[in-house]
């Protein structure tokens, strides 16, 4: 009987220790989220980047996006990018700093579509295409016509040469893919 109570006590103690250990990291994680947004917002004014309609760039918690507001429209109008505490939005924030003109151009085109068609149950073809580009595109700028041609044909005699050139020439926009890559490799 004593042995059984000892086991039960150990299980209860173990569960209590688990709760103690996990509640503190959750609080720290929430604090890190606030610190993350503060860091983005501390850096944004110095970068002087703007959205598709010229609003100064800032970052807010996703929960601060007003009900019924479109994500892209809110960014264009207010400059505030709704940001969740995950890798997808972490890389999206990096892209706003690394490729601000591309992000602003995409935002301008998305909001032009919203202005023309409104907000419906789906984004529509153009907004879907813009989102796919934003989250998955790799831009290949290359002065060597042979490399560009080989990439267009999806085949080449020197794949390693193209791979090396690709890494030198590519501009990455694929914040969604980067986040997925990090989740898979951890």
Given a cut of 50, is residue 28 above it in pLDDT? no
Percent of the chain with pLDDT over 70: 66
- Is residue 44, in this structure, part of any structural domain at all? yes
- Is residue 28, in this structure, part of any structural domain at all? yes
For 94-122, write each residue's pLDDT tens digit.
899 888 999 999 999 999 999 999 888 88
Contact yes or no for 56/44 (Cβ under 8 A): yes
- Is residue 138, in this structure, part of any structural domain at all? no
- Is residue 115, in this structure, part of any structural domain at all? no
Burial profile 77-105: b = 16 or more Cβ within 10 angstroms, e = fewer: ebbbbbbeeebbbbbbbebbeebbebbbe
This prediction's pTM: 0.66
Q: What confidence score (pLDDT) does residue 160 get?
A: 53
- Is residue 67, in this structure, part of any structural domain at all? yes
The CA-CA-CA angle for residues 109, 47, 51, to 5°, reads: 15
Given a cut of 70, is residue 184 above it in pLDDT? no
- Is residue 110, in this structure, part of any structural domain at all? no
- Is residue 30, in this structure, part of any structural domain at all? yes
Angle at which helices 100-117 and 71-78 pack, to 10 degrees?
Answer: 110
Domains contained in the chain, number = 1
- Is residue 132, in this structure, part of any structural domain at all? no
Range of the domain at 16: 2-100
Q: What confidence score (pLDDT) does residue 119 get?
A: 85
For 126-176, write each residue's pLDDT tens digit.
999 999 999 888 777 777 787 777 777 765 555 556 666 666 655 555 555
Given a cut of 80, is residue 39 above it in pLDDT? yes
Q: What confidence score (pLDDT) does residue 77 get?
A: 92
Given a cut of 80, is residue 2 above it in pLDDT? no
């Amino acid at each position: 009987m004593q042995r059984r109570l000892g086991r039960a006590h150990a299980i209860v103690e173990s569960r209590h220790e688990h709760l103690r250990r996990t509640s503190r990291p959750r609080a720290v994680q929430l604090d890190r989220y606030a610190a993350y947004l503060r860091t983005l917002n501390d850096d944004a004014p110095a970068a002087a980047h703007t959205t598709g309609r010229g609003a100064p760039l800032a970052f807010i918690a996703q929960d601060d996006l007003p009900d019924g507001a479109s994500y892209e429209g809110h960014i264009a109008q207010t400059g505030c990018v709704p940001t969740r505490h995950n890798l997808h939005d972490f890389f999206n924030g990096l892209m706003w700093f690394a490729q601000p003109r591309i992000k602003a151009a995409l935002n301008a085109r998305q909001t032009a579509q919203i202005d023309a068609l409104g907000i419906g149950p789906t984004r529509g073809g153009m907004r879907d295409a813009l989102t796919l580009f934003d989250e998955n595109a790799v831009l290949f700028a290359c002065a060597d016509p042979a490399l560009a041609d080989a990439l267009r044909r999806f085949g080449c005699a020197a794949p390693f040469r193209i791979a090396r050139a690709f890494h030198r020439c590519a501009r990455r926009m694929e914040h969604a893919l980067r986040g997925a890559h990090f989740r898979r490799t951890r």
